[in-house]
Amino acid sequence: MTISSIEAIALIDANNFYASCEQSINPHLRNRPVVILSNNDACIIARSPEARALKIKMGTPYFKEKERLSKLDVAVLSSNYSLYADMSKRLMNLLKNYCEEMEIYSIDEAFVSIYRPNDKNLYPWARKLRTLTYQNLGITITIGIGENKVRAKVANKLAKNIDYSAGIFDLARTKDENSYFKGISVDKIWGIGKQTSKWLKSKGIKNAQELRDMKENEIIKKLGVVGKRLQLELKGYKCLPIKKSNKSKREIQVSRSFGTPITKLEDLTQVLAIYAIQASAKMRSQSLKTSAISVFVRTSKYSNQKYQRVAHKKLINATDNTNAILKIVVALSKEIYNPEYKLSKAGVLMQDLINCHYLQKSIINYKSQEDIKKSENLMRTIDLLNKKYNNNAITWAITKKPKEWTINRNLLSHTSTTDIRKIPTIVI
């Protein structure tokens, strides 16, 4: 294929990703309605097309739909993130062979840049990619093509909404753009959330066309540079670059809601300690060290007694050592605890992350090289053992106290691509 220098941006995403992953590894689930639940088996966060057809809504709490789902014979699964992460890796590895640059935007989505061929037609490229991902992974993708990221997102939406598109839409090749833009409500545009769409609607701006043609200064006054960039992209200018995905994280968070609310300090401390252990391991797996730690608690969004607290600690020396981090988190947990409230969610954040390779050795608080090596080796060994024998083979005593607040995950799928013991067995 000869190429011209005109570059296009495509947004490629997997349809109903979590449900598709489950259906892909478990043939019994194919052509059946499937829904996936969030942590705690709380909300419905993914639905197979068959489940959509039954008018099961995204984000509804499971307890409200439980009965109806079982009547309709819907397969209900807890989310299995290690499976989805593994499938995601395979998907991205495939895609990157068919584009110039790639930015992995989320677990099931990537922006890619590609050159247009001389006839400008990218449909053959897109069709090939769709076929390949279906054959290799059992997953269907949608491809939206445009001049920039915002327009690629719009095109992706159109590809999903228009029946005859067959999952592919190129916004740069349409004759009557306005007729499509009019059909896209502002709150469906990437970057326009609840607050902004409320404001836009109060100004009489209802669809993508009206937002694109709205007065610039009005947008800047209310939405700042973010809004201005968004509008420019809708018009076709390129403002948002493709970000190479190997850049390291800015912060790492582990947080979760509890099955039953917490009222005791020792329980809160234990929860935060467990999250801190996970967060530390996550940092080490990405060669990062933290130089600021935050912990937070809050009551339920839906409770009428509201309480929320955050506590921070800045560190002189960045660290990825679980023991050091635990000490700080345990101390911070006392600051945010309040016995008068039923606490329903808590978390820890590792912030101001530093890549180990760029780290300067501090002169103050100098520890002998041997000490540092010792503790590094200990952490590395723990990580290795946990990897080999599955998580939590080695952990800290604080995690072993009986828990009254556990996370529900009752409906986990038992087949997996990441655990050899869970590979499906075939009986002949």
Partner DNA sequence: TCTGGGGTCCTAGGACCC
**Residue number, 117 or 261, with CB nearest to DNA:** 261
Q: Does 59 bind DNA (CB under 7 A)?
A: yes
Q: What is the DSSP letter of 242?
A: P
Q: Is 50 exposed, middle or buried (0-12, 13-18, 19+ CB in 10 A)?
A: buried
Cβ–Cβ under 8 Å, residues 114 and 100: yes
| Residue 428, both tokens | 């002949």
**Residue number, 109 or 233, with CB nearest to DNA:** 109
Cα atoms found within 13 Å of the Cα of residue 61, Cβ hemisphere only: 3
**Residue number, 23 or 78, with CB nearest to DNA:** 78
Query: From the CB of 53, what's the least distance to DNA, in Å?
Result: 22
**Residue number, 116 or 347, with CB nearest to DNA:** 347
The Cα–Cα gap between 290 and 248 comes to 12
**Hey, is 271 helix, strand or coil?**
helix
Q: Work out which of 153, 212, 284, 289 binds DNA, going by CB under 7 A.
A: 153
Contact code string over 261-300 relative to DNA, x by CB under 7 A: ---------------------x-----------------x
Q: Does 252 bind DNA (CB under 7 A)?
A: yes
**Residue number, 24 or 245, with CB nearest to DNA:** 245
**Residue number, 68 or 120, with CB nearest to DNA:** 68
**For residue 412, how many other CB atoms are within 10 A of its CB?**
14
**For residue 327, how many other CB atoms are within 10 A of its CB?**
12
| Residue 109, both tokens | 């989505």
Query: From the CB of 81, what's the least distance to DNA, in Å?
Result: 9
- Are β-strands 288-298 and 354-355 bridged in parallel, bridged antiparallel, or unpaired? antiparallel
Q: Does 384 bind DNA (CB under 7 A)?
A: no
Beta strands per DSSP E along 88-219: 101-106, 109-117, 141-146, 168-170
Q: Work out which of 53, 225, 384, 385 binds DNA, going by CB under 7 A.
A: 225
Contact code string over 103-142 relative to DNA, x by CB under 7 A: --xxxxx---------------------------------
User: Would residue 44 be called left, alpha or beta, if left means φ above 0 and alpha means ψ between -120 and 50 degrees?
Assistant: beta
Contact code string over 171-210 relative to DNA, x by CB under 7 A: ------------------xxxxxxxxx-------------
Query: From the CB of 193, what's the least distance to DNA, in Å?
Result: 2
Q: Work out which of 113, 140, 255, 355 binds DNA, going by CB under 7 A.
A: 255
Q: Which uninterrupted H or E stretch holds 257?
A: strand 252-262
Contacts of 313 (CB under 8 A, 6+ apart): 292, 293, 294, 328, 331, 332
* Rounded to 5°, angle at Cα 304 from 302 and 309: 85
Query: From the CB of 59, what's the least distance to DNA, in Å?
Result: 6
Q: What is the DSSP letter of 61?
A: B
Query: From the CB of 424, what's the least distance to DNA, in Å?
Result: 27
Q: Does 43 bind DNA (CB under 7 A)?
A: yes
Query: From the CB of 402, what's the least distance to DNA, in Å?
Result: 20
Q: Which residues here bind DNA, judged by CB under 7 A?
A: 38-40, 42-43, 45, 59, 61, 63, 105-109, 153, 189-197, 224-226, 249-257, 282, 300-302, 310, 312, 314, 344-345, 347, 407
